Amino acid sequence: MSEDRSSWQVKGSSILSELVSLMDLSSDEAALLKALSAQAKSTAPQMTESFYERLFKHENTAEYLQGKPMERLHSMVGEWFTELFSGTYDEQYVQKRLIIGEIHVRIGLPVRYPLSMLDVIMQFGESVAQTSTDPEKTNAAFRKILALDVAIFNQAYEDNQLNHLSNLVGGERLARRLLSGSV
Ligand code: HEM
């Protein structure tokens, strides 16, 4: 039987302080990203063009977008991208992005799709980072912030599954043990 783990106590937006310390994000790195906020904003429309072009090209992803207000989605995803360069990565930042993750959980979208779209985001984010006075350090900072988003998207999906299973079996500890195959 596996042991209980302290990481099991870390939930929702409190993953922030844990991950920021795990990734060792410094205030210098946050400032380098913030300095590119305007550049990110002007790159956002190109980013969202590529983003939705890819999603519309594939039947299984295009299906989710039929009849959706695309102008609004372009603007929301553009804002999400621009905020990667906001320089402020606090609980509110994480909470807002967790809610975005939850919206995708609720439309029944498999997590592999948002995660694989990080490829497009990475490409445009790196091109923004290249315009920095210190491209190498900024790129490293951008990778950290993007890794934080991978964690947030996953967290939204995991929280949802764990909640459902916990309700079904009558407790989170048992749900965790079932998921790890130890009972
Ligand atoms: C990293 C990847 C992704 C990001 C950052 C992202 C971001 C967003 C944001 C910011 C919104 C608006 C949320 C709101 O209303 O407050 C949204 C909504 C939506 N996204 Fe995504 N998205 C991603 C991947 C995907 C993928 C792969 C699909 C599937 C085709 C998708 C389909 C949708 C749909 C259908 C909505 C509208 C939901 C509704 O209000 O009915 N998204 N997304």
With the most atoms of ligand 1 within 8 angstroms of its CB, the residue from 100, 115, 116 to mutate is 100
- Check if 54 has its Cβ closer than 6 Å to any atom of ligand 1: no
Q: What pLDDT does residue 13 have?
A: 67
Residue 43 has pLDDT above 90, yes or no: yes
With the most atoms of ligand 1 within 8 angstroms of its CB, the residue from 73, 121, 122 to mutate is 73
Q: What pLDDT does residue 183 have?
A: 83
What average pLDDT is seen over the chain?
A: 92
Give the pLDDT band (50/70/90) at residue 16.
Answer: confident
Q: What pLDDT does residue 141 have?
A: 96
For the stretch 107-125, pLDDT in tens is 999 999 999 999 999 999 9
Give the pLDDT band (50/70/90) at residue 15.
Answer: confident
Q: What pLDDT does residue 9 have?
A: 79
Residue 170 has pLDDT above 80, yes or no: yes
Q: What pLDDT does residue 3 have?
A: 76
Residue type, 37: S
Instruction: Say what percent of the chain tops pLDDT 90.
Output: 76
List the domains of the chain with CATH numbers: 6-179 (1.10.490.10)
Residue predicted with more confidence, 138 or 161: 138
Q: Rounded to the nearest whole angstrom, what is the distance from the C-alpha of residue 104 to the centroid of ligand 1?
A: 6
Mean pLDDT over residues 90-104, rounded?
A: 92
Residue 5 has pLDDT above 60, yes or no: yes
Atom of ligand 1 nearest to the CA of 65: 35
Q: What pLDDT does residue 2 have?
A: 60
Q: What pLDDT does residue 123 have?
A: 98
SS3 of the chain: the string is CCCCCHHHHCCHHHHHHHHHHHHCCCHHHHHHHHCCHHHHHHHHHHHHHHHHHHHHHCHHHHHHHCCCCHHHHHHHHHHHHHHHHCCCCCHHHHHHHHHHHHHHHHCCCCCHHHHHCHHHHHHHHHHHHCCCCCHHHHHHHHHHHHHHHHHHHHHHHHHHHHHHHHHHHCCHHHHHHHHCCCC
